[in-house]
Amino acid sequence: KAVEGMNGGGNGAGGGAGGGAGGEGGVESPYPAKLLDMLSERGLLSFDGEGGLVLPPKLAQLDPKIVEHVFNEVTDSCGGITWDDIAGQDAAKRLVQEMVVWPMLNPQLFTGARAPPRGLLLFGPPGTGKTLIGKAVAANICATFFSISASSLTSKWIGEGERMVRALFALAGLLSPSVIFIDEIDSLISARKSEGEHEASRRLKTQMLIELEGCDPSKDAERILLIGATNRPEELDEAARRRMPKQLYIPLPCEAARRQMLSRAFRAGSDISHCLTPVDLDKVVERTAGYSGSDMKNLIQEACQGPVRDLFRQRGNVTNVAASELRPVTLRDFQMACKAQKRSVADCEVERYIAYDATFGAKY
């Protein structure tokens, strides 16, 4: 019997199939309704003779609670991120597209010697757009995006990490094509063996390496791409490097990228008015050498607060104030904002990344 209509109408909105609710015409199940919908869309669900749900074996082996955690907390809609949303990083964007987007879109072409790497490592200072790149990849290939930070695996789900990782990769396989983005991957598979390392965290590492070995984006059935991100690439061990053979440096934004971020904040249609001349913008760009993408974002936010603060000083409150009543953002707002929002990455750290890149980074 076909599963369509399982959620009362089969509109994919998630009706009574999941959450154990088993609404009218629905099916009792401990799994999230949306997950069942997604499996159903892929033809991975069926019913037995008594109308009971038959799950894919890979899912049936897993603890439903863990599956629910992974599905609810780890899958991400990507927020419709496009390549254009990422300022600068042109070379990295080009290489990521060639290396991972093309093979995911046309696996038949990329076999044998052309088979793509199964994992990709993005390294560089925090706040430079590594996560954005992961999201843009997923959005580009209409993949399910799983995003998890290694510290949440090791702290939030203490002792459950190994099972979480297994569930993560199993779900990613079922919902393929999938992109698994793991932030702070160094803390999962670092070379440093911390003293008294927990048995649980050792098992977690091992499981991670096993799963990485197993995901092969050239296989049609399970197109999983792992993107690891790290601010401390030198802490990865050799086994991890082998599994993520391409390592890409995502540096601090260059002048052109910083200018792009500024122009975008004030582009036509934005409800924030400004009176910054091109020369003013040049001054801001120059003054923000060494700022990361996220520093720039915070700086722009801070500068845009200037007119609101002024109005508050005049009136004592900003309730019922329309955007049109605010004065435009000026160069002075940026000068003040630069004092509040300093750069977050030191030159010595940048040098460390450049040195690592010279040895391990993919050149393009």
- Residues at the interface with ligand ADP (CB under 6 A): 86-89, 126-132, 229, 253, 257, 261, 293-294, 297
Report the alpha-carbon distance of residue 306 to residue 231 in Å, rounded.
32
Q: What is the 3-state secondary structure (H, E, C) of 277-318?
A: CHHHHHHHHHHCCCCCHHHHHHHHHHHHHHHHHHHHHHHCCC
* Residue 293: CB minimum distance to ligand ADP, A: 2
* Residue 308: CB minimum distance to ligand ADP, A: 20
Q: In what order do the strands lie in the sheet with 178-183?
A: 75-76, 144-149, 178-183, 224-230, 119-123, 246-249
Choose between 130 and 163: whose C-beta lies nearer to ligand ADP. Answer: 130
Report the alpha-carbon distance of residue 202 to residue 151 in Å, rounded.
14
Cα 53–chain centre separation: 32
* Residue 257: CB minimum distance to ligand ADP, A: 6
* Residue 84: CB minimum distance to ligand ADP, A: 10
**Gyration radius of the chain's alpha carbons:** 24
Choose between 130 and 259: whose C-beta lies nearer to ligand ADP. Answer: 130
* Residue 124: CB minimum distance to ligand ADP, A: 7
Cβ contacts of 343 within 8 Å, gap of 6 or more: 288, 290, 291, 292, 295
Choose between 318 and 340: whose C-beta lies nearer to ligand ADP. Answer: 340
Choose between 149 and 154: whose C-beta lies nearer to ligand ADP. Answer: 149
Cβ contacts of 281 within 8 Å, gap of 6 or more: 259, 262, 263
Between the alpha carbon of residue 249 and those of residues 44, 226, 238, the distances in Å are 38, 16, 18
Choose between 88 and 116: whose C-beta lies nearer to ligand ADP. Answer: 88
Task: Scan for tokens 């509040």, then name that residue.
Answer: 340
Residue type, 256: A
Choose between 30 and 79: whose C-beta lies nearer to ligand ADP. Answer: 79
Task: Scan for tokens 């990228």, then name that residue.
Answer: 257
Taking CB atoms, the residue at the shortest distance from ligand ADP is 293
* Residue 89: CB minimum distance to ligand ADP, A: 5
* Residue 295: CB minimum distance to ligand ADP, A: 8
Choose between 33 and 122: whose C-beta lies nearer to ligand ADP. Answer: 122
